[in-house]
Amino acid sequence: MTSLQNDLFLRALLKQPVERTPLWMMRQAGRYLPEYRATRAKAGSFMQLCTNPELACEVTLQPLDRYRFDAAILFSDILTVPDAMGLGLSFAEGEGPQFARPVRSAADVARLPIPDPETELRYVMDAVRLIKTNLHGRVPLIGFSGSPWTLATYMVEGGGSKNFQKVKGLMFEQPALMHQLLDKTAQAVAAYLNAQIAAGADAVMVFDTWGGALSHADYLEFSLSYAQRVRQALNTQYDGRTIPTILFTKGGGLWLEAMADTGYDALGLDWQTDIGQARIRVGDKVALQGNMDPLTLYAPPAVIREKVGKVLQGYGQGSGHVFNLGHGILPDIDPAHVAAMVDAVHELSPHYHR
Amino acid sequence: MTSLQNDLFLRALLKQPVERTPLWMMRQAGRYLPEYRATRAKAGSFMQLCTNPELACEVTLQPLDRYRFDAAILFSDILTVPDAMGLGLSFAEGEGPQFARPVRSAADVARLPIPDPETELRYVMDAVRLIKTNLHGRVPLIGFSGSPWTLATYMVEGGGSKNFQKVKGLMFEQPALMHQLLDKTAQAVAAYLNAQIAAGADAVMVFDTWGGALSHADYLEFSLSYAQRVRQALNTQYDGRTIPTILFTKGGGLWLEAMADTGYDALGLDWQTDIGQARIRVGDKVALQGNMDPLTLYAPPAVIREKVGKVLQGYGQGSGHVFNLGHGILPDIDPAHVAAMVDAVHELSPHYHR
């Protein structure tokens, strides 16, 4: 069924039996690694790194050479899609992302194109193909996108935001226009992920980084329904392959039941959510990915090992768990501490699959 | 039983019948009011405003002259307690709070005193007495404190923090020392709240602003257990008065069942938590306070009225609800929009108490 040498990750997402719990780590290709910082310096800017397939491939593979991770994740940024929609993305050094042309009016929404991923986002698809070639089937490759809501927050705010005043203003005052924006963004996200699948991605993940800023009702209406629409549009049976799908809403622990009904194969959990209780709440509907507190990685290796054990024990016996952090690794973590986490998962998890 | 002209707030916290849903607003005495900004300018610094009982009284009463709120809340800062413990609090203009002497070692913890509220925090107790006198029984006065965990985050970090690296480092690496720090802080908080009760506070609220940064297990061990210890030490029957107690953990929606078992009369809800589901989860154990998205107040009055209606409808029939925002009001809200919220609660809520 697969030409992969290690398909533990895909099997766990589909709740098929595994010998041990697979793991990868959000932002595993990132600044905590000296080799990443070297490539980043070589690239120039962050965007130059994202848009250069050779360098994006290089940093994607780096963590796999250090650690026994069970998946690679495409190195890219969630804001490539709005950039391709014409918003003009830039990253000022030491600051967050900025859009030159934020979306504020009906005219702004009307003129947004749905990008053709193989033209406007060709550099991402080239990176996916190059990574797949260079992985030689060692582990699966995860493609990803921001969720429509999360992308819309940046598109309306024009960058990062603390309180989401502009995008919530649009949502409260002109909900119909907000829905038009989300509808277009969902189409763009679905096309982008399908192109990643066609280019070789073995699984796809939707990052809803800012869904947790919404009330329950607004989350269902403005975030989850569009994540579901994306899911429905995905080609999850492609060229003889089954492509598992993962939905992660940071701060979404309250809403797991609704998330589990959207057709995604797995839910990402932040570290605030108890994984054992989450498993009871979602039942057999989805697998779970997560969810150690990323701050644990500052602690000494013995503490890391203990906390890994707690997460594995929390999920308990059987397949359907992919070990991960509850959010991305921080830039100043000691790489040796990541090794302690990886070793602990490899050593402690077979117990739960006997 | 009470000499208050309006005790709706206290009755709702105790789940006694009310004619309409009482309301107040987190940060109701604050920068969105021009009269607050005038007093603040007169005081000089923020700390000078906090430590001047006459001016603290003045700003506490200001929102009551504008709006039909059903409670006043002491104007103060949660960091007065660690300041009185000798940490040296300052607020640089335009920046967050800073402690000159953060807590980092066993020796630092050992030398922390438990302040005597009537001496080291005399200015707060004088403010409570002055406010009570000047309220003339119009509405109850809420006293408050930060939770032990939340205070400890500032004490260890030395100020605000994004990721809580230092305090979580202490927690993961030296949990016994972290417990000693929390134990002392809980004693200081309990003494502080009991002094506010003795000075005239009619209800007290514990703000656990950063409990939501913890994993479920760490929340129970390092935050909730100390909030519970504070509750057990409170003099809730004082001088013939029953003092209702409220616990608010921002980001704590996942943990309401555990919070409802700690003896507090009411739980504050952030806006992410569905209030109807919360009511089902906590049953008859506690009243609920909240929880409109504070960003709603940017919207036009008609939208505000609709969203107020949704929160009231979400809680449903019967007592046990205090209307509030899910977090503090933001500084640039139009005061007329607050009036729209207050009017809506007064007009729409009697329906739920027939």
When pLDDT is cut at 50, 70 and 90, the band that residue A95 belongs to is confident
- Which residues in chain A are closer than 8 Å to B251, comparing Cβ atoms? 251, 272
Average pLDDT, chain B: 97
pLDDT tens digits, residue range A70-85?
999 999 999 999 999 9
Arithmetic mean of pLDDT, B69-80 = 97
B170-to-A56, A141, A296, B249 alpha-carbon distances in Å: 37, 37, 11, 21
- Which helix (H) or strand (E) element contains residue B178? helix B175-199
Q: Under an 8 A CB cutoff, do B326 and A168 touch? A: no
Q: Is residue B161 part of a domain?
A: yes
Chain A residue with minimum CA distance to B294 = A163
Residue positions of B annotated with a catalytic role: 27, 31, 40, 77, 154
Amino acid at A52: N
Average pLDDT, chain A: 97
Closest residue to A169, CB basis, from B165, B251, B298: B298
Q: Is residue B176 part of a domain?
A: yes
Are A342 and A23 a contacting pair, CB within 8 Å?
yes
Q: Which of residues 197-226 of A touch B (CB under 8 A)?
A: 212-219
Using the predicted structure, report yes or no on whether residue B350 has a pLDDT greater than 90. Answer: yes
Arithmetic mean of pLDDT, B188-212 = 98
pLDDT of residue A92: 82
Domain that holds residue B274: 44-286
Arithmetic mean of pLDDT, A92-120 = 94
- Which residues in chain A are closer than 8 Å to B310, comparing Cβ atoms? 217
Place of tokens 């495409």: A74
Q: Is residue A3 part of a domain?
A: no
Kindly report the CATH number assigned to the domain that includes residue A253: 3.20.20.210
A208 is known as an active-site residue:
no
pLDDT tens digits, residue range A240-277?
999 999 999 999 999 999 999 999 999 999 999 999 99
Q: Is A327 on the interface with B (CB under 8 A)?
A: no
Using the predicted structure, report yes or no on whether residue A2 has a pLDDT greater than 90. Answer: no
From A31, A66, A138, A305, the catalytic residue: A31
Arithmetic mean of pLDDT, B309-337 = 98
Q: Is residue A82 part of a domain?
A: yes
pLDDT of residue A1: 40
pLDDT tens digits, residue range A283-304?
999 999 999 999 999 999 999 9
- Which helix (H) or strand (E) element contains residue B275? helix B275-282
pLDDT of residue B93: 74
- Which residues in chain B are closer than 8 Å to A303, comparing Cβ atoms? 172-173
When pLDDT is cut at 50, 70 and 90, the band that residue B3 belongs to is confident
Question: What's the whole-model pTM score?
Answer: 0.96
Whole-angstrom distance, CA of residue A36 vs CA of residue B140: 58
Pairing of strands B237-238, B241-242: antiparallel
When pLDDT is cut at 50, 70 and 90, the band that residue A3 belongs to is confident
When pLDDT is cut at 50, 70 and 90, the band that residue B212 belongs to is very high
- What is the domain count for chain A? 1
Place of tokens 């003045």: B58
Q: Is A277 on the interface with B (CB under 8 A)?
A: yes
pLDDT tens digits, residue range B234-290?
999 999 999 999 999 999 999 999 999 999 999 999 999 999 999 999 999 999 999
Long-range contacts, A276-283 (Cβ 8 Å, 24+): A276/A314, A276/A315, A276/A316, A277/B216, A278/A253, A279/A315, A279/A316, A279/A320, A281/A256, A281/A257, A282/A256, A282/A257
A123 is known as an active-site residue:
no
Q: Is residue B35 part of a domain?
A: no
Amino acid at A203: A
Q: Under an 8 A CB cutoff, do B215 and A277 touch? A: no
pLDDT of residue A50: 95
**Sequential DSSP letters for A57-72:** HHHHHHHHHHS--S-E
Q: Is A239 on the interface with B (CB under 8 A)?
A: no
pLDDT tens digits, residue range A16-27?
999 999 999 999
pLDDT of residue A341: 98
Using the predicted structure, report yes or no on whether residue A31 has a pLDDT greater than 80. Answer: yes
DSSP 8-state class, residue B330: P
Using the predicted structure, report yes or no on whether residue B94 has a pLDDT greater than 80. Answer: no
Closest residue to A173, CB basis, from B163, B272, B300: B300
Using the predicted structure, report yes or no on whether residue B299 has a pLDDT greater than 60. Answer: yes
Q: Under an 8 A CB cutoff, do B293 and A219 touch? A: no
Arithmetic mean of pLDDT, A328-346 = 98
Q: Is residue A1 part of a domain?
A: no
pLDDT of residue A279: 98
Could you give the residue ranges of the DSSP H alpha helices within A200-300?
216-218, 225-233, 256-259, 275-282
When pLDDT is cut at 50, 70 and 90, the band that residue A94 belongs to is confident
Using the predicted structure, report yes or no on whether residue B194 has a pLDDT greater than 80. Answer: yes
Helices (H) and strands (E) in chain B, counts: 16, 11
Residue from A164, A172, A223 whose CB has the most chain B CBs within 10 Å, to mutate = A172
Q: Nearest-CA distance from A308 to chain B in Å?
A: 13
Amino acid at A100: A
Could you give the residue ranges of the DSSP H alpha helices within chain A?
8-13, 34-43, 46-50, 53-66, 80-82, 106-110, 122-135, 148-157, 165-173, 175-199, 216-218, 225-233, 256-259, 275-282, 301-315, 335-348
- Which residues in chain B are closer than 8 Å to A271, comparing Cβ atoms? 215
- Which residues in chain A are closer than 8 Å to B294, comparing Cβ atoms? 163
Using the predicted structure, report yes or no on whether residue B95 has a pLDDT greater than 90. Answer: no
Report phi then psi at B130, rounded to 5: -65, -40
pLDDT tens digits, residue range A137-183?
999 999 999 999 999 999 999 999 999 999 999 999 999 999 999 99
Are B220 and B149 a contacting pair, CB within 8 Å?
no
Q: Is B149 on the interface with A (CB under 8 A)?
A: no
The percent of residues in chain B predicted with pLDDT above 70, rounded, is 99
pLDDT of residue B2: 52
pLDDT of residue B181: 98
**Sequential DSSP letters for B57-111:** HHHHHHHHHHS--S-EE----TTHHHIIIII-EEE-TTS-EEESS---SHHHHHT
A154 is known as an active-site residue:
yes
Q: Is residue A32 part of a domain?
A: yes
Using the predicted structure, report yes or no on whether residue B97 has a pLDDT greater than 70. Answer: yes
pLDDT tens digits, residue range B114-163?
999 999 999 999 999 999 999 999 999 999 999 999 999 999 999 999 99
Q: Is residue A243 part of a domain?
A: yes
pLDDT tens digits, residue range A191-233?
999 999 999 999 999 999 999 999 999 999 999 999 999 999 9
pLDDT of residue B1: 39
